[in-house]
């Protein structure tokens, strides 16, 4: 009986370090992999390079500013929320514009074919509760 006890204790002692490194059911890995960090390093910062950025049309007229971006569940940036409101953007009229419609012309974000009036005529974007 004593030999069985020693075998059980030894097996448990040898198994504990392996179990402490295993992922616990229901837990998730937090952070980015090395491959993902490369993407992050060359990507754009929404806070520094997109949000608040002025939007122009092809005639170089300022027609709004980017107030928000929408990221879908598959990690794709799908829409920019453009504020086409009034003077100094005090009055808000947010419009969801697919990011595929934007062009980058030098350092300017351009929405070809758009005017301030066409954005104001577009349906207003409202956040779901």
Which position has the higher pLDDT, 17 or 121?
121
DSSP summary character for residue 99: G
Cα end-to-end distance, the chain, whole Å:
65
68-53-124-102 Cα dihedral, nearest 10 degrees? -100
For residue 22, name the pLDDT band (cuts at 50, 70, 90).
low
pLDDT at residue number 5: 43
pLDDT of residue 14: 44
For residue 95, give the nearest of 58, 55, 60, 40 by alpha carbon. 55
Sign of CA dihedral 40, 46, 49, 54: positive
Whether domain 45-121 has CATH 3.40.50.2000:
no
Q: What is the pLDDT of residues 62-109, one digit of tens each?
A: 999 999 998 888 878 889 999 987 655 567 899 999 989 999 888 899
What is the pTM (predicted TM-score) of this model? 0.65
Average pLDDT, the chain: 76
CB burial class (10 A; 0-12, 13-18, 19+) of residue 119? buried
What would the two tokens of residue 23 be? 């992922």
Ranges 14-18, 21-25, 27-31, 113-117: which has the least confidence: 14-18
**Is the distance from CB of 65 to CB of 89 less than 8 angstroms?**
yes
């Amino acid at each position: 009986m004593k030999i069985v006890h020693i075998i059980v204790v030894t097996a448990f002692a040898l198994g504990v370090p392996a179990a402490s490194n295993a992922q616990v059911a229901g837990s998730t890995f937090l952070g980015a992999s090395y491959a993902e960090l490369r993407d992050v390093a060359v990507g754009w910062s929404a806070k520094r390079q997109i949000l608040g950025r002025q939007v122009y049309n092809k005639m170089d007229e300022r027609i709004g500013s980017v107030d928000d971006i929408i990221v879908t569940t598959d990690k794709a940036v799908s829409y920019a929320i453009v504020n086409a409101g009034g003077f100094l953007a005090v009055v808000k009229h947010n419009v969801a514009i697919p990011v595929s419609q934007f062009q980058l012309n030098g350092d300017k974000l351009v929405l070809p074919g758009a005017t301030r009036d066409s954005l104001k005529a577009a349906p207003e974007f409202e956040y779901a509760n």
